[in-house]
Structure 1
Amino acid sequence: MDKRIGLIVYDDFQILDLAALTVFEFANSLQQKIRYQFASLSVAGGMVKSSMGVAVDTQPIGFGTYDTLMISGALLIPKAMPALEAILKESASGKTRIASICTGAFVLANAGLLDGKKATTHWVWGRHLQEQHPAVQVDEDKIYVKDGSVWTSAGVTACIDLALALVEADLGSEVAKSIARLMVVHHRRTGGQSQFSVMAELEPSSDRVRDALKFAKENLHKDLTVEDLAEHVHWSPRHFSRVFHSQTGMAPAKAIEKLRLEEAQALIEQGHSSISRIASLTGFGDEERMRRAFLRTYGHSPKAFVHLSRLQKDNVYLS
């Protein structure tokens, strides 16, 4: 039996969120029979204008029943929409799977559907979501979060990750992987993956500091020192450390540790489970050193992340 997917939009929604429906379109193309029917929806139906001015034709939400309702996001926090919130609350009381993209989480929160649940949104708005809705357990650094039948995702291209996860829950991981390849998604991110990279977070203006970070990222398996990085960019260690700290806000050693943690987490996401092997590949050297870094930064050990990754592969989310 095919599933009905509805993407709910509203005035000034982010039009990129329509890409989520493309995932279900590709899912149909890979199956011998149609698995999904999908449509863009709004409370009243008709043309709805996106934030960039392009309008989308929609059907009224009450036109039919849906197995999954997805709420689009916007560039800003959506205003209260009592009619939509009432519809969502009623839908969630049945068997409908509810999902939000980006700031669509605020719509779900306004409807009370996130109270007591884990949720995420675009990292820019995570703190605002927590402040406005203290009953929500906000994790602003996740790509997507599943808590029961309610799913929430980060913003922008994370709508694709969310839709892929929904398809994986319905049709299995191999179908989801095939769709990712067809959509030229370089890496199908899992829910527990961070929304942004260490390289993007540091963002130094100096070409030499950026080159040093690139060098470090490519040589994490080595015993990197400040002297190694300084020599690579032809600066003295003292001058390099001073400029590095002024542009990134942290010491080189701390930045290298963050890069190693990010790489270790990526290896776990890819299916590596040997803690000693991961410690070796990422330059931590020994398991205890890596364990302390994980606990200090994430509050969980590497083994806990391995366990989480295995659960996610079985379509069970545990934070």
Structure 2
Amino acid sequence: IRYQSFKMFYLLLVTALAPELFARKVGAEESHLISDDACLNSESGPACALHALQHSKMPVALPKGSRSTRHRRHNDDVVDGVSTAKSFAKSVASDRLGIFLQIGNPSLWPDMLGCLPSVADAYANIGVHISFLEGSFPNATKREIANSVRALSMRISLYTLTVPNLGEDIGQFLAQLEQAEGEGLQYDFILKVHTKTDTNWRSLGLQSMCGTKWQVRSAIQQFHEKPDVDLIGPVGLVYGATTPLSDIYPSLWGVHILNIAEAARGQPFWGCNDDNVRYVHDQVCPDLLFDNKSPAIAAGTMFW
């Protein structure tokens, strides 16, 4: 996602959102495999490993103009539009990426760690943000995770945060954004991934978003070439009320298929979250018309 665009949304969200909306405890649950070449082109549709949510569906306007690429290193110990190869190569050297990882299940850290080399191989300026849950991680485990990140590349700036067990991965993500804002960090684009317990969802999320350096570069190329694209999610996991079932990953059918069918008849497809969705929408962008068919879901909450 474009960081400046998301930061605007975040600032509005944390100001407007009632704290109780993020009071749900993180449970035991904490993402389909695609080929390495699936995202090497900029084609849209089910054949590509990236599904884009268009700007018209985003709650904030896309900021225009140049973006900062400030770089800041933090290595304290953990205790608690591109159309040519030349222009794209230039973006590889200058784009500043932020990787936000939410760790709820430490046993799945190796999968998260496997994502980072793809980003580090593709881009030089990387900030890695890792969040831990209070009381769930011994300091030794935190140090081990942090050291495994530092061992990947000297170009990585590492930021860690221990947060309360509130709001699942989204609660952790908002806390990480607050930390990044407090540190004065500036990114061009950010990636959000987390330790999703469901193996299929986790595998698809990680493979689609950062399976290879080519997929990473393809995602960033989409942002450069298409100013109206603000968010990119995993193939098969981004869908709305009118998305063809053939474009939705089969493992979602048993969970969400009835809600999607209801949405096609004019009913919201997020089920019991309808009140919360509408509340947040009214607080963040009250002047934007809300309907049941245009919003889309990035299931599993992993996305660029």
Instruction: State the TM-score, normalized to the length of structure 2.
Output: 0.29
Larger helix share, 1 or 2: 1
| Rg larger in structure | 1
Higher relative contact order (CA 8 A, sep 6+): 2
